[in-house]
Chains A and B, each alone.
Chain A
Amino acid sequence: AQSVAQPEDQVNVAEGNPLTVKCTYSVSGNPYLFWYVQYPNRGLQFLLKYITGDNLVKGSYGFEAEFNKSQTSFHLKKPSALVSDSALYFCAVRDDSSASKIIFGSGTRLSIRP
């Protein structure tokens, strides 16, 4: 069965430094992968997705993600972190058994210190 894993509950980064939020996936077919962000007391917001094509996907707010098929990873990255990037980040994969559903990871809390 397909799944995503976010191995870090929390990531702490100093403002201005690069950040990486890790995600690994397991699927039986071609992966459809997503990143969402959740700010406090808000719903999730779509950041970016990978379906096919270029392994480096660019998304909202300066975020990008690198798809690595051999390592089954889809890590979220940003070259220079902002305090306003502090939020909860979810990796997700489309359900192989039902294209109408996606499966979310457990989330990683990103904290950017000034």
Chain B
Amino acid sequence: NAGVTQTPKFRILKIGQSMTLQCTQDMNHNYMYWYRQDPGMGLKLIYYSVGAGITDKGEVPNGYNVSRSTTEDFPLRLELAAPSQTSVYFCASSPGTSGRALAKNIQYFGAGTRLSVL
């Protein structure tokens, strides 16, 4: 059972470059999320989606874009990389408020993408 898969695991970008962080889940979850975790800090929500075709901004959306064309995939796009975007990025999915009571609202995380912008 793969769960939430993120690629790549590591990446180094030059300032101004662009890239897409990939995230896919095989649990048929409606809800998906992108977080960033800076060293020694907690998680900050970048964008989230409650279903295919629906996305919304989180706490720190500037400099990022997302799309949700399928239930499984939720890619995160960095258009003009900046040093301030150096971080570890986590994708997560959740069944939300539907499904089994034990699983409601639980988020399942990928292993993360470690990004450095130099």
Contact = CB atoms under 8 A, between A and B. Distances in A.
Interface of A: 32, 34, 36, 41-46, 49, 51, 90, 94, 99-102, 104-107
23 contacts: A34-B106, A36-B107, A42-B111, A42-B112, A43-B4, A43-B90, A43-B92, A44-B92, A45-B109, A46-B107, A49-B106, A94-B105, A99-B96, A100-B31, A100-B50, A100-B94, A100-B96, A101-B33, A101-B45, A101-B48, A102-B105, A105-B42, A107-B41
Tell me which of B4, B43, B50, B109 has the highest count of chain A C-beta atoms within 10 A of its own C-beta. B43
A45 B42 CA distance: 14
B106 A46 contact: yes
Contact of A32 (B42, B43, B105, B109): B105
Contacts of A34: 105-106
Interface in B20-51: 31, 33, 41-43, 45, 48, 50
Which 5 pairs from chain A and chain B are nearest by CB?
A43-B109, A106-B42, A44-B109, A104-B43, A46-B106
A100 B42 contact: no
Interface string B35-69: 00000011101001010000000100000000000
A43 B112 contact: yes
B97 interface: yes
Contacts of A44: 43, 90, 92, 107, 109
